[in-house]
């Protein structure tokens, strides 16, 4: 039962990164690809109807984590205190930028929100990558299952690291590049003309950055976190996940070269899913790995919310999840196809 | 170590209070929007559709602010209240996760269809989307209030060996007896806010001679809905809420009424200032025996005062709690009276030509917000010193390793950010009102392509 919830929470988070990932990516590449006001409107219209629903996956994933493993929620959120509050402020700024830009027709007003949109999207992409890096590297949990890490110390990994060290910064940069690729792929799929041409070009360039950064990040992970190496050598079938991820990345680039926009977007989605699945596989059954004493790690066994709660949750989760799939498909089908913005 | 507790409490209070300014409007408007959409379909009258589009815009604005200010609350359970989350997560995780899964997806998916779908979907499909939006926002309120009701009146839990709580009956949690009246009271209050804002805007347009047809529709709808909701807000929902407080949290009830000493035939204070030095009420003006009657239906019933409870179980900010309760109850009465008067004038066909009454309605618009905020302060200050009533004290629920400096830093950050947000919201709200409902809105609204361009 705990394993099911470990999978469910990981899956919800992975879907969140794939879905909100493309609108973060649009934010990152926005100043590069959308040079004119009509193009900017098209780029925003491409994510307008879906980004709120995408963001809800984060809230729902957070809710599920709280429900299934409250101790991890409590330890993680209080431990990464400053980073998470800063994430909140960035999410607020980003939400407002998307919502408010169209409310006033004034050049400065729009420039302000464009800046907020790109800045918050890029920073959040880096922060999410760094967060994943922290989960992989581990944190200094004490006997009560709590920890507190500052934003940075000396930028080195070790038993008492900061949230940012050389390795998590590398993960953050890789994350930003991956989402830039993903967002550019999405825009290429949803638009035509000059905007599409630029999006394809940016996606192509971002693809190379992704390859370099991902190779570096994989090497860093196996150096920083030996638990992953152990987990993979015990269950080598898990190598299928990173292998599938790398294959999807290769496919994304190959399809990109032939300007197969939809297929390339699907490939970059698969790439993200497979890489996050690799992480979940390597970490299992740990939820938060302790850097100080392995015995302090929070696992699916010692952080569970109880048998009855998890069983009854299964019922409403399956119903709710079915409904979500229906809504998500409904919304994406409703706005399927190229963005069509009337010129005033 | 200097304790972070006051900053943690203040931060949650500030963020929750500010957040709730937005959903109370959207939950109320969701119901009124359903009415407009239904009328537009059944009567085929175009102006109902037009006015629905206009209020959808205001809904969307308030919803956007509600979403961005709501996420911090979910986060804060973990960031600032880690021990509480560890202790109670096995129970309230259920309702919080269900809110995410059942309510948020429903709302945000279908709001997209309503906002971007004009001209793309038939009016029937839009009606369905409006229904989903209504269901989503009211479900969201239900799950949040189920969480709060459990903190006020814990049910359906068992205690594990390590002291953590686990849910042992989901249906028990969702049908917490406390929840029924709290939910009804809260939702009628949300409808009161929606109705007042709608009626006030109608009154403003009428007084300033703009958008006359829409103004009358808004005013009529707002007054009828507001009169019904504000009556229900007082009786039975408000009354039953107060009764269950006296039954299950008598010390909170005594603090509401400033009842320092246990009395037979206790009265209800209309005015008076609690004096914490002498433990009496200064300048009292009271209705004798009314409290005993309302709570126990007996003029001479004994009502327990604060002196019947140990001092450490008293709510820690007694005067503020006392005033919150009196502001809520006082304003609630004034709101109901205003709407009652307006309904009478509407029925006599004289509402639209009575400027004094239109002014009164227009100027009353902020009061539901104040009353609802005071209502939340009443519920939450009254729960102190408990975080989970009778089970976990507030002081024992904070994050053990988050020091006061960090909590103060983020508190200041939220204060600054929310000040900016408040100014932005008022500014954009005023812009939307200035733009007004118009036939030109019958094409995509809220489109990032910028329909105002």
Neighbours of B432 (CB within 10 A): 18
With CA atoms as reference, the chain B residue closest to A303 would be B86
pLDDT at residue B182 is higher than 90: yes
Q: Please give the model's pTM, rounded to 2 decimal places.
A: 0.91
Q: Which residues of B touch A95 (CB under 8 A)?
A: 64, 67-68
Neighbours of A150 (CB within 10 A): 14
- Contact across the interface for B71 and A84, Cβ inside 8 Å: no
Q: Which residues of B touch A338 (CB under 8 A)?
A: none
Instruction: Please choose, from the candidates B99, B65, B152, B229, the residue with its C-alpha nearest in 3D space to the C-alpha of residue B390.
Output: B152
**Token representation of residue A279:** 């992480």
- Contact across the interface for A334 and B110, Cβ inside 8 Å: no
Question: B286: exposed, middle or buried (C-beta count within 10 Å: 0-12, 13-18, 19+)?
Answer: middle
The low-confidence residues of chain A, meaning pLDDT below 70, are: 340-344
Rounded to two decimals, the ipTM of the complex is 0.89
pLDDT at residue B450 is higher than 70: no
- Contact across the interface for A78 and B78, Cβ inside 8 Å: yes
Cis, peptide link before residue A285, omega less than 30° from 0: yes
Q: What's the pLDDT at B439?
A: 53
What is the C-alpha separation between B57 and B62, in angstroms, rounded? 9
Q: What's the pLDDT at B447?
A: 42
Contact residues for A227 (Cβ-Cβ < 8 A; gap 6+):
A282, A283, A286, A289
- Contact across the interface for A52 and B102, Cβ inside 8 Å: no
- Contact across the interface for A77 and B99, Cβ inside 8 Å: no
At residue B448 the predicted structure's pLDDT band, cuts being 50, 70 and 90, is very low
Cis, peptide link before residue B236, omega less than 30° from 0: yes
Output the average pLDDT for chain B: 90
The answer to whether A116 touches A94, Cβ cutoff 8 Å, is: yes
At residue B10 the predicted structure's pLDDT band, cuts being 50, 70 and 90, is very high
What is the C-alpha separation between B356 and B352, in angstroms, rounded? 10
Q: Which residues of B touch A102 (CB under 8 A)?
A: 446-452
- Contact across the interface for A96 and B108, Cβ inside 8 Å: no
Q: What is the CA radius of gyration of chain A?
A: 20
**Token representation of residue A145:** 């299952």
**Token representation of residue B407:** 């909590």
- Contact across the interface for A321 and B106, Cβ inside 8 Å: no
Q: Which residues of A touch B82 (CB under 8 A)?
A: 74-75, 77-78, 146
Neighbours of B319 (CB within 10 A): 13
Q: How many CB pairs under 8 A join A and B?
A: 241
Distance of CA B90 to the CA centre of its chain: 26
DSSP string, A271-320: HHHHHHHHHHHHHTTEEE-BSS-GGG-EETTTS---HHHHHHHHHHHHHH
- Closest residue to B401, CB basis, from A78, A330, A335: A78
Distances (CA, A) of B433 to A307, B57, B58, B198, B200: 52, 10, 9, 11, 11
- Contact across the interface for A327 and B78, Cβ inside 8 Å: no
pLDDT tens-place string over residues B211-227: 999 999 999 999 999 99
Q: What's the pLDDT at A158?
A: 76
Task: Report, as an integer, the average pLDDT of B402-421.
Answer: 93
Q: What's the pLDDT at B215?
A: 93
The nearest CA of chain A is from the CA of B414 a distance in Å of 8
Q: Which residues of A touch B81 (CB under 8 A)?
A: 74
Q: What's the pLDDT at B85?
A: 93
pLDDT at residue B446 is higher than 60: no
Return the minimum-mean-pLDDT range out of A162-166, B24-28, B94-98.
A162-166
pLDDT tens-place string over residues B344-402: 999 999 999 999 999 999 999 999 999 999 999 999 999 989 999 999 999 999 999 88
pLDDT tens-place string over residues B99-153: 999 998 898 888 888 888 777 888 888 999 999 999 999 999 999 999 999 999 9
The answer to whether A221 touches A214, Cβ cutoff 8 Å, is: no
Partners of B275 in the β-ladder? B280
Cα–Cα–Cα angle for A126, A127, A133, rounded to 5 degrees: 95
With CA atoms as reference, the chain A residue closest to B68 would be A92
């Amino acid at each position: 039962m705990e394993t099911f919830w470990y999978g469910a929470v990981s899956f919800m988070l992975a879907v969140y990164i794939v879905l909100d990932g493309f609108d973060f990516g649009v934010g990152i590449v926005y100043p590069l690809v959308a040079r004119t006001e009509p193009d900017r409107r098209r780029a925003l219209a491409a994510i307008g109807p879906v980004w709120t629903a995408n963001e809800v996956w984060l809230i729902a994933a957070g809710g599920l984590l709280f429900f299934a493993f409250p101790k991890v929620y409590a330890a993680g959120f209080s431990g990464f205190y400053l980073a998470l509050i800063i994430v909140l402020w960035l999410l607020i700024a980003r939400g407002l930028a998307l919502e408010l830009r169209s409310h006033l027709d004034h050049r400065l007003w729009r420039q302000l929100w464009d800046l907020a949109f790109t800045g918050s999207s890029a920073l959040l992409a880096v922060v999410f990558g760094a967060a994943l890096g922290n989960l992989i590297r581990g944190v200094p949990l004490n006997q009560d299952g709590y920890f507190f890490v500052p934003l940075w110390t000396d930028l080195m990994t070790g038993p008492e690291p900061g949230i940012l060290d050389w390795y998590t910064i590398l993960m953050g940069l890789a994350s930003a590049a991956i989402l830039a690729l993903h967002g550019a792929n999405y825009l290429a799929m949803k638009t035509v003309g000059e905007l599409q041409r630029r999006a394809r070009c940016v996606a192509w360039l971002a693809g190379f950055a992704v390859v370099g950064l991902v190779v570096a990040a994989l090497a860093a992970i196996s150096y920083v976190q030996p638990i992953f190496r152990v987990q993979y050598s015990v269950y080598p079938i898990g190598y299928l996940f990173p292998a599938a991820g790398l294959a999807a990345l290769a496919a994304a680039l190959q399809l990109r070269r032939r300007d197969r926009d939809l297929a390339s977007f699907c490939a970059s989605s698969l790439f993200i899913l497979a890489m996050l699945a690799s992480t979940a596989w390597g970490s299992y059954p740990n939820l938060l790995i302790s850097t100080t004493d392995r015995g302090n790690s929070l696992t699916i066994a010692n952080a569970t919310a109880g048998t009855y709660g998890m069983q009854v949750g299964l019922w409403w989760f399956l119903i709710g999840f079915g409904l979500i799939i229906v809504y998500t498909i409904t919304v994406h089908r409703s706005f399927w196809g190229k963005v069509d913005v009337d010129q005033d | 170590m200097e304790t972070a507790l006051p900053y943690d409490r203040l931060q949650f209070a500030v963020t929750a209070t500010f957040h709730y300014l937005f959903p109370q409007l959207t939950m109320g408007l969701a119901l009124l929007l359903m009415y407009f959409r239904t009328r537009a379909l059944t009567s085929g009258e175009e102006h109902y559709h037009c006015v629905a589009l206009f209020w959808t815009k205001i809904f969307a604005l308030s919803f956007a602010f509600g979403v961005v200010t709501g996420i911090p609350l979910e986060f804060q359970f973990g960031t600032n209240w880690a021990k509480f989350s560890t202790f109670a997560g096995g129970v309230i995780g259920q309702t919080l996760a269900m809110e995410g899964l059942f309510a948020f997806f429903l709302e945000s998916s279908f709001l997209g269809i309503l906002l971007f779908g004009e001209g793309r979907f038939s009016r029937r499909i839009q009606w369905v989307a409006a229904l989903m939006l209504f269901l989503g926002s009211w479900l969201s309120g239900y799950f949040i209030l189920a969480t709060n009701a459990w903190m006020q009146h814990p049910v359906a839990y068992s205690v594990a060996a390590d002291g953590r709580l686990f849910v042992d009956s989901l249906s028990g949690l969702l049908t917490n007896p406390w929840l029924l009246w709290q939910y009804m009271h809260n939702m009628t209050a949300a409808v009161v806010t929606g109705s007042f804002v709608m009626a006030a805007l109608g009154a403003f347009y009428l007084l300033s001679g703009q958008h006359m047809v829409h103004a009358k529709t808004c005013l009529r709808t707002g007054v009828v809905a507001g009169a019904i909701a504000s009556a229900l807000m007082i009786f039975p929902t408000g009354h039953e809420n107060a009764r269950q407080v006296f039954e299950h949290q008598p010390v909170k009830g005594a603090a509401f009424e400033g009842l320092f000493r246990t009395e037979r035939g206790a009265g209800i204070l209309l005015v008076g200032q609690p004096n914490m030095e002498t433990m009496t009420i200064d300048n009292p003006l009271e209705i004798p025996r009314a409290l005993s009657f309302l709570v126990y239906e007996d003029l001479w019933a004994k009502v327990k005062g604060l002196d019947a409870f140990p001092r450490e179980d008293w709510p820690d900010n007694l005067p503020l709690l006392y005033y919150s309760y009196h502001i809520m109850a006082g304003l609630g009465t004034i709101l109901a009276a205003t709407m009652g008067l307006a309904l009478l004038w509407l029925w006599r066909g004289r509402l639209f030509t009575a400027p004094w009454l239109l002014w009164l309605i227009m100027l009353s618009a902020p009061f539901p917000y104040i009353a609802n905020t005071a209502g939340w302060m009443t519920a939450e200050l009254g729960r102190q010193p408990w975080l989970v009533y009778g089970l976990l004290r507030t002081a024992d629920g904070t994050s053990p390793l988050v020091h006061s400096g960090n909590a103060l830093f983020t508190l200041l950050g939220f204060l600054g950010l929310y000040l900016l947000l408040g100014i932005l919201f008022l500014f954009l709200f005023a812009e939307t009102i200035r733009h007004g409902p118009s036939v030109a809105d019958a094409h995509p609204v809220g489109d990032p392509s910028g329909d105002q361009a």
